[in-house]
Chain A
Amino acid sequence: MSTTTDTDSVREDGQIESVSGPVVTATGLEARMNDVVYVGTEGLMGEVIEIEGDITTIQVYEETSGVAPGEPVENTGAPLSVDLGPGLLDTIYDGVQRPLDELEELMGSAFLDRGVDAPGIDLDRTWEFTPTVEEGDAVEPGDVLGTVPETESIEHKVLVPPRSEGGEVVAANSGSFDVEETVVELDSGEEISMRQEWPVRRQRPAEEKRTPREPLVSGQRIQDGLFPLAKGGTAAIPGPFGSGKTVTQQQLAKWADADIVVYIGCGERGNEMTEVIEDFPDLEDPKTGKPLMARTCLIANTSNMPVAARESCIYTGITIAEYYRDMGYDVALMADSTSRWAEAMREISSRLEEMPGEEGYPAYLAARLAEFYERAGKFETINGDEGSISAIGAVSPPGGDFSEPVTQNTLRIVKTFWALDSDLAERRHFPAINWNESYSLYRSQLDDWFVENVDEDWPEVRQWAIDTLDEEDELQEIVQLVGRDALPADQQLTLEVARYLREAFLQQNALHDVDTFCPPEKAFRILEGIQTFNDEAFEALDAGVPIDEITDIDAVNRLNRIGTTPDDEADEFVSEIEDDVAAELQELY
C-alpha cells in the first residue's frame, strides 16, 4: 500500500461506534465506498465496505483486540490500491501489498505487529530507465515509454497510465531514477514516473479479449497431455485436504512457461510460503535458465493473518497480474485457496448481518468468483500488444464434497477442471488428478499448437490413451467382482497397458529432480512407447502367445523409469525399450 507510512497520529475524521472482530463501525465519517481508512489510535488499516446513514462500516485488515468505541478514524479519501512499478517481482507481500521483509525490519520481530504500514514498492531504490520514446513523439494511454531491467529475466516496461490523457513527449530522461521521479513529461504538463497506483477492485482496461490458442505448457504430463490449460485460460483444482492442490499449484508456478508468476497464498499455511521463498531463488526457469524468483511475485495472507486482508489479497494479486499483462507478458496467477477467500467473504458478510445465501455464503459469492476469473484471459492490450493472464484457483471443499457452493460456482466459470481425488492420493498416485472426472474445454483449440510444435500424431495418440483408460475403468468394475484372472486375455492385456499409462505417464513425482518437469516431447515419447508395447503385445496375443508370457517380459517394466530418465536421454531410452519389447516378444512366437 502507498498513501502514508506515518500513522503516529490518527486524524479524527470520525469516531468508532462499535467493534466486533474485523468489523468496525464509525460515525461522523465522510467517506466513500472502498476508501481506505485508519482505525483507532494505533491507525489500523481498513476499508469502507458499507455506508448507511451516518454509520460507516469498515473491514479492518489488522487485529482489533483492545480497540474501543470513541477512538478516532481517519479517512485517506483514496480507494484500496496497489503500487505498481519496478520492484514487484522477487518480492513477498501480505494481502494489502505490504512487503513482508520490510515489515520484519520495521517491526524488529518475526511476529506481525499491527499499525505498521510500508509502501508496496521501495521508494528509495533507483532503477536504470531507458526511454523508448523521443521528444515530439505522440503517446497514448498504454504506450511504452521506456524500459527498466527489473530482474535478471524481466524487462519492466513503463507505460503511459491508462487514465492519462496522452499527448506529445516534451522530455524523456534516461538514467538512474527512483520510482517517484519524473521520467517522461508530456506537453499537457503531465509528469510520468515509474510508480503508478491502481484501485484493486477495478479491472485494468484492455482493448479486447481474444480466443486463446496456445497452451500454458506446464511440464506436467497429465495436464499437458490430457487436460491442457491455455495461456489466458482459467482452471480450478478442487480436492480434499492432502490431495495435492498446493503441490500442483507450486508445480505450475515453477515450470509453466509463463513470463510472470503471481502466486497468492490465500488463507493457507505459513510454511508453504516459506518453502516457496526458500526454493524459488535456487530453481531455474527451464526456458531462460534464470532463477524462478526473478519472475515471481508472492502474496501471502496465511490462515492466521487477519481475515479481511484475506478477502483483499486476491484483488491485489490479479491487479499486479494485469499490470504485467499490459506490458505484453504472459502471466500465470495461482490462488491457493479460493475457498478461504470465499470464507473470508462469508465471515465479513455475517458480521454485517447480511442475508445469507447457500451454506451461509453471501448471495454475491457467484458474482465475485465470476468477476475474478473474468479478469483472466488473452487480451489485446490498449497499446495493441498481446498479453495474457491464466488464472488457476485451488478449491478446498468441506469434506471433499464437490457439490458445495464454491466448487459449483467455480465450475460454472472455469474451462479446465483438474479434479483431485483422495483415493488416488491415498494410493500415492500423484498428481492425484482423476482422469475420469477432469476435463479441459481448451483441448481442441490447442491441438494445432501441439501438432505443430510437438508431434503431428499428438491428438491421435492422446485419444488412444484416453480410450484405453476409459476401457480400463469399465473393466475394473468387473475385476472387483470376479478377479482379474477371470477376464479374457485381450482384456487382461488392456488392463496391463492401462497400468503403464497410469504408472509411467499419469503419475509424475514432483519431488524427483528429473521427473518434476517433463517437456511435452518427452511426454509424447512415453505415450508412444506404451502404445508400441500395446500394438506389439496385441499382435503377439493374436498369434497365440499366452498372456502371462507377454506381460512377463522384462523390458516393459522399464517404461516406468522413463520419467526419471534425464530429458536428453529419454528418447534413446524409449527406443531401446521399444526394440527390446519387440525382440522379447518375437522370441515368444
Chain B
Amino acid sequence: MKEYQTITEVSGPLVFAEVDEPIGYDEIVEIETPSGETKRGQVLESESGVVAIQVFEGTEGINREASVRFLGETMKMPVTEDLLGRVLDGSGRPIDGGPDIVPDERRDIVGEAINPYSREYPEEFIQTGVSAIDGMNTLVRGQKLPIFSSSGQPHSDLALQIARQASVPEDASDEDEEDSEFAVIFGAMGITQEEANEFMQDFERTGALERSVVFMNLADDPAVERTVTPRMALTTAEYLAFDKDYHVLVILTDMTNYCEALREIGAAREEVPGRRGYPGYMYTDLAQLYERAGRIEGEEGSVTQIPILTMPSDDITHPIPDLTGYITEGQIIVDPDLNSQGVEPPINVLPSLSRLMDDGIGEGLTREDHGDVSDQLYAAYAEGEDLRDLVNIVGREALSERDNRFLDFADRFEEEFVQQGFTTDREIEETLDVGWDLLSTLPRDELNRIDEELIEEHYEDEAAEELSAD
C-alpha cells in the first residue's frame, strides 16, 4: 500500500491529492495529520492523476504534509450477531468499553438493491400498542414508515414507545415463524448528548439494549460521518434480517441532520444545488437508504424502518420531508397543537397515512371490522375537525345538532383514542373497542362506511341515546 504526501488542496470536508496509480471510485482513504491523528475518508471522484476525497472526521489539522493511504476497498461494516447489545460510534466502532468485535463478515455499506422480483409484499401486522398507529395507520413488517415531527416535540418518546412495545400478536403470526426474533437497530445522526442519554437510559432500563445495536453520531461529531452512520446501521440490519432471521426494526434519527450533511458536502464540491440548496440527487440518495427496508421471498427475517425527521419550520413541503414522503410508504405526523393540548402521543391522524395498511389488516390478521372502523373514525374526525373552523366564526349555538355531535366526537377522539400516554400498551382489540365506543356516540345512520352487519354487532345503542338525552 502506497503512501502519498501529495495533497494539493483542502476545502471544507474535501481533500484533493495527486496519485500515480489508479484509485477506485468510493474507495476508503486514511489520512494521517502531521500531529499523528488518523482520519478516514472516501474517494468521491477519481481521475488518472488526481482524486477528490471526502473526509468523515472533518479536515481540521490536515495540511500538505499529511499523508494519504488508499486502502484499496470500499467502506465496510464488520457484522456479527454479537453486535446485539453493543453501542458503536457513527462509523461503527465500539464506544461502550466492551470487548473487540470479532466480525463474521465485513460487508460493503453501500448495499445492493433488492431485486424487485425477489421481494415479498409486506403484509404482516406489527402491533405497536399505539392506537393512532395500529388502529388508523397500521405498520407492517418490511415497511418504511417515517415520523414527521418538528423540533421540541416528543418524537423520541414515541419512537421509544414503539421500539419497546412492537410485537406481532400470537394468533396473527405463523406457527413456523416462532424462531424469528425481534431486534432493534438504532442509528442516531447529530442528536444531542441529552437526547442520546434519554435513549440509552430507556434502552437500559427496559432491557431493550440486549436485543439492540446502537450507532451514535452526536451533534458534536463530524457532520460528514452522518452520511455513513445510516448505511452502517442498515448493513447490520440486513445481515441480522436476511442471514440471521431476525425481524429488525431500524430507527433512524434525525434524518434532517443527515440531509444537512449531504447539503454541506454538495456545497463543498461546488455542485449546482437543487431546491433550497439541497443536492439534486438527494431523492436518489435517500431512496438508497429507505429502500433497504423490506421482506424477501424465502427469508424469515425482515427490515422495517422508522426514520424520524424534524420538519424545518414545521413545513411539510420542505425538501427533506417532501422527498422522504415520496419514497416511504406513508408517514406519521406529530402535531405541535396536540402536543400542547397534552395529547400523548400527539399524532395527527388526518395527514398521517400508512400505505401498506390495507393488506395488513382485517379478518385473520387483526379483526374483521378494522378497515371499516378506521375509515369511519377518520371520516367522522375529519368532519368534526372541519367544523371547528366554522365554530370559531359562528359559535356552537348556530350549528345543528348533528354538527355538534361531530364536534364532540372530534374532541373525544383526541382525548380517548389518540391520547393514551407513552407507557400504555394497547392491544389491537382494545384500540378497536375504544373506536366503537366513540362511533356509538354518533347516530347509527351516520356510519355509512361500515358494513351493516358489523354495525349490528358492535354498535352500542345506549351510548347514542345517553348523549341525545343530555
Contact with A along B389-433 (1 / 0, CB 8 A): 110011000111000000000000000000000000000000000
Residues of A near B101 (CB, < 8 A) are none
- B284: which of A64, A242, A303, A557 is its contact (CB, 8 Å)? A303
Residues of A near B292 (CB, < 8 A) are 304
Residues of B near A275 (CB, < 8 A) are 121
Instruction: For chain B, residues 32 to 85, give those with C-beta under 8 angstroms from any C-beta of chain A.
Output: 44-48, 73-74
Given the known A-B contacts A20-B45, A304-B113, are A65 and B378 also in contact in the complex, defined by CB atoms under 8 Å?
A: no
Residues of B near A109 (CB, < 8 A) are 115, 118
Given the known A-B contacts A270-B294, A303-B287, A343-B283, are A19 and B45 also in contact in the complex, defined by CB atoms under 8 Å?
A: yes
In the complex, B322 has a CB within 8 A of chain A = yes
Given the known A-B contacts A65-B26, A271-B329, A360-B274, are A110 and B399 also in contact in the complex, defined by CB atoms under 8 Å?
A: no
Interface residues on A, range: 35 or more
- B326: which of A241, A274, A560 is its contact (CB, 8 Å)? A241
Q: How far is the CB of A69 from chain B (nearest CB, A)?
A: 4
Q: Judge whether B351 and A396 touch: CB under 8 Å.
A: no
In the complex, A542 has a CB within 8 A of chain B = no
- Nearest CB in chain B to that of A101: its residue: B117
In the complex, B157 has a CB within 8 A of chain A = no
B interface secondary structure, majority: mixed
Q: How far is the CB of B352 from chain A (nearest CB, A)?
A: 10
Q: How far is the CB of A384 from chain B (nearest CB, A)?
A: 39
Residues of A near B111 (CB, < 8 A) are 111
- B280: which of A267, A347, A400 is its contact (CB, 8 Å)? A347
- Nearest CB in chain A to that of B52: its residue: A20
Instruction: For chain A, residues 460 to 518, give those with C-beta under 8 angstroms from any C-beta of chain B.
Output: 480-483, 485, 511
Q: Judge whether A63 and B110 touch: CB under 8 Å.
A: yes
Q: How far is the CB of B69 from chain A (nearest CB, A)?
A: 16
Given the known A-B contacts A18-B45, A18-B47, A483-B394, are A303 and B283 also in contact in the complex, defined by CB atoms under 8 Å?
A: yes
Contact with B along A393-404 (1 / 0, CB 8 A): 000101111000
In the complex, A208 has a CB within 8 A of chain B = no
Residues of B near A347 (CB, < 8 A) are 280-281, 284
Contact with B along A98-113 (1 / 0, CB 8 A): 0011011001011111
Residues of A near B46 (CB, < 8 A) are 18-20, 68-69
Residues of A near B331 (CB, < 8 A) are 242
Residues of B near A66 (CB, < 8 A) are 24-27, 73-74
In the complex, B454 has a CB within 8 A of chain A = no
Q: Judge whether B25 and A67 touch: CB under 8 Å.
A: yes
In the complex, A350 has a CB within 8 A of chain B = yes
Instruction: For chain B, residues 322 to 339, give those with C-beta under 8 angstroms from any C-beta of chain A.
Output: 322-323, 325-327, 329-331
Q: How far is the CB of A245 from chain B (nearest CB, A)?
A: 10
Q: Judge whether B116 and A100 touch: CB under 8 Å.
A: yes
Instruction: For chain B, residues 371 to 398, give those with C-beta under 8 angstroms from any C-beta of chain A.
Output: 375, 378-379, 382, 389-390, 393-394, 398
Residues of B near A412 (CB, < 8 A) are none
Instruction: For chain B, residues 167 to 181, give those with C-beta under 8 angstroms from any C-beta of chain A.
Output: none
Residues of A near B283 (CB, < 8 A) are 267, 303, 340, 343
Docked Cα-Cα span, A68 to B20, in Å, equals 12
In the complex, B461 has a CB within 8 A of chain A = no
Docked Cα-Cα span, A16 to B25, in Å, equals 12
- B23: which of A20, A68, A307, A396 is its contact (CB, 8 Å)? A68
Of the candidate stretches B127-135, B220-228, B353-361, the one touching chain A is B353-361
Q: Judge whether B281 and A307 touch: CB under 8 Å.
A: yes
- A19: which of B25, B329, B358 is its contact (CB, 8 Å)? B25
In the complex, A56 has a CB within 8 A of chain B = no
Residues of B near A482 (CB, < 8 A) are 394
Given the known A-B contacts A65-B110, A359-B274, A401-B317, are A278 and B121 also in contact in the complex, defined by CB atoms under 8 Å?
A: yes
Q: Judge whether B113 and A273 touch: CB under 8 Å.
A: no
Q: How far is the CB of B396 from chain A (nearest CB, A)?
A: 11
Q: Judge whether A270 and B116 touch: CB under 8 Å.
A: yes
Q: Judge whether A68 and B115 touch: CB under 8 Å.
A: no
Docked Cα-Cα span, A405 to B194, in Å, equals 43
In the complex, A428 has a CB within 8 A of chain B = yes
Residues of B near A100 (CB, < 8 A) are 115-118
Q: Judge whether A65 and B108 touch: CB under 8 Å.
A: yes
Residues of B near A427 (CB, < 8 A) are 382
Docked Cα-Cα span, A92 to B48, in Å, equals 39
In the complex, B272 has a CB within 8 A of chain A = yes
Q: Judge whether A110 and B115 touch: CB under 8 Å.
A: yes
Q: Judge whether A350 and B272 touch: CB under 8 Å.
A: yes
In the complex, B368 has a CB within 8 A of chain A = no
- A270: which of B26, B47, B119, B448 is its contact (CB, 8 Å)? B119
- B291: which of A269, A360, A428 is its contact (CB, 8 Å)? A269
Q: Can you list the 5 inter-chain pairs with the closest CB atoms, starting with the nearest?
A: A303-B287, A399-B317, A110-B118, A18-B47, A68-B22
17 A–B pairs (Cβ distance < 8 Å), ordered by A? A20-B46, A63-B110, A70-B22, A100-B115, A100-B117, A107-B115, A242-B325, A269-B327, A270-B119, A271-B142, A300-B117, A303-B284, A343-B280, A346-B280, A359-B274, A400-B322, A426-B351
9 further contact pairs, Cβ within 8 A, besides A399-B318, A481-B393: A16-B22, A64-B25, A65-B24, A269-B291, A270-B113, A271-B142, A273-B116, A274-B117, A426-B350
